[in-house]
Amino acid sequence: MGKLKRKKPSKRTKTAKKTAPAKKPADFFESKDFLSLKEFHPGNFEFLFKLAERMKKDPAAFSSRLRGKSLAMLFQMPSIRTRVSFQVGMSELGGSSVYVDPQESPLGERESAKDIARVLSRYCDAVVLRAYHHSQIQEFARAAAVPVINGLSNSFHPCQTLADLFTIREKFRTLAKMNIAYIGDGNNVLHSLLYGAAKVGANLAIATPRGYEPNEEVLKDIKLISKESGSKVTLSNNPFTAIKNAHAVYTDVWVSMGQEKQREQRLRDFQPFQVNGAIMGKAPKDAMILHCLPAHRGEEITEDVIDHPRSAIFDQAENRLHTQKALLVLLMTRKKKK
């Protein structure tokens, strides 16, 4: 066999630009707060999910990670999963938490959000804030000296999306090119799911009744993000179109907190979008069923579907704990800039 000729290294042309060194995953967590997935770096997802995966497998290994740290939970509306998952999460990490009842401190009424933020920053190492208006969370975060986490606002529910994507990743071992069908209201849960899916390269097919589509500004953002990630986002008014080739079928309540006066109209408008046996019968056989809870059984989802063997709804709820534990560690042990 003849000798292989070595190729001469090509000379860099004068116009060639040096590529910037790639950031290490740990460097991505530069933001003080976690307010929405709009500001979340795409590289953070896999970094956080790998940590959450380790925490789920071996929680004892992280039992002192936040020892001496404290978390304030300031909620302006009721919660079960968000409150309990954060409270238990801090306990499992060796830290402590304090819950502030909505009636004890209504944001902006008894005292300004800015003043509450400054006070809690003196007592605690981070704050989870659940508020009616996203602008309240933004104002609070600007005044706070510690990390602020959005526990839910009228615009976004980013902690929920972390658990949603982690649950899909658990089953299929990847998120890139996964097909997610979302059937229902174009609400805060969908807004966060849009940002999350687009940034991890998953495809999202949305079906809503006419007039209930997601926010136009969010959709404009997603169009730009999708060009970078290769994600495909489609919008229709036909649930059967959305479920074609779906790896996951996701729904949410039709009447959220603060929409009680619209209940009768919403029930009529959303009835054709119920996730039931007819819908799931047309979906791929391995499609998992997701719901962020609370569920109104018999409204947006039927009893047989929520309890179906393909349902991952309660795995999804459990994963709120693991993904939020990872988030807490990454935010609360982040090196502060000098």
- Over residues 182-211, the mean pLDDT reads 98
Q: Are residues 167 and 302 in the same domain?
A: yes
In a domain? residue 12: no
pLDDT at 18 over 50: no
Mean pLDDT of the chain: 91
* 310 tagged catalytic: no
The reply to whether 21 falls in a domain is no
Residue 300 forms part of a structural domain: yes
- Burial state string for 127-136 with b = 16 or more CB within 10 A and e = fewer than 16: bbbbbeebeb
pLDDT at 12: 40
Whole-angstrom CA distances from 308 to 23, 222, 287, 288, 302 are 43, 32, 11, 10, 10
pLDDT in tens, 242-269: 999 999 999 999 998 778 888 999 999 9
240 lies in the same domain as 307: yes
| 327/290 same-domain check | no
Bridge partners, residue 100, by sequence: 74
Say if pTM beats, i.e. exceeds, 0.75: yes
Catalytic site residue from 76, 87, 125, 130: 130
Question: Has residue 20 been placed in a domain?
Answer: no
Q: Which of 97-111, 153-167, 320-334 has the lowest mean pLDDT?
A: 97-111
Residue 313 and residue 219 share a domain: yes
Q: Is 138 a catalytic residue?
A: no
Instruction: Point out the catalytic residue in the list 124, 292, 316, 322.
Output: 292
Indicate the number of domains in the chain: 2
Average pLDDT over residues 20-38: 69
Structural domain includes residue 10: no
Q: If we measure between CA atoms, which residue out of 250, 251, 259 comes closest to residue 299?
A: 251
What span, in angstroms and rounded, lies between the C-alpha atoms of 107 and 140? 10
Active site residue 157: yes
In sequence order, which ranges of 149-210 are alpha helices (DSSP H)?
158-172, 188-200
Domain co-membership, 266 together with 165:
yes
Q: Is residue 292 among the annotated active site residues?
A: yes
| Domain annotation covers residue 6 | no
Indicate which residue of 252, 274, 316, 322 is catalytic.
252
pLDDT at 19: 41
Mean pLDDT of 133-154: 97
The answer, yes or no, to whether residue 30 has pLDDT greater than 80, is no
Are both 224 and 151 inside the same structural domain?
no
Please state at what angle helix 158-172 crosses helix 42-57, rounded to 10 degrees: 70
Residues 244, 311: one domain?
Answer: yes
Q: Give pLDDT, residue 20.
A: 42
Residues 146 and 39 grouped into a single domain: yes
In a domain, 279, yes or no: yes
pLDDT greater at residue 4 or residue 225? 225
Query: Which range marks the domain in which residue 218 is found?
Result: 160-318
CA distances from 203 to 198, 231, 330 (A): 7, 5, 27
Catalytic residue selected from 169, 191, 266, 320:
320
Q: Side chain identity at 45, as an amino acid letter? A: F
Residue 338: which pLDDT band, with cuts at 50, 70 and 90?
low
Same domain? 170 vs 228: yes
> 171 and 84: one domain?
no
- Residue 193 above 80 pLDDT? yes
Same domain, yes or no: 268 and 291: yes
Here the CATH number for the domain that contains residue 74 is: 3.40.50.1370
Please state the rounded mean pLDDT for residues 109-113.
86
Let me know if 304 is a catalytic residue.
Answer: no
Residue 331 has pLDDT above 50, yes or no: yes
Q: In whole angstroms, what is the distance from residue 148 CA to residue 33 CA?
A: 5
Residue 2 lies in a domain: no
Active-site option among 76, 87, 125, 157: 157
Point out the catalytic residue in the list 87, 160, 274, 324: 160
Same domain assignment for residues 147 and 242: no
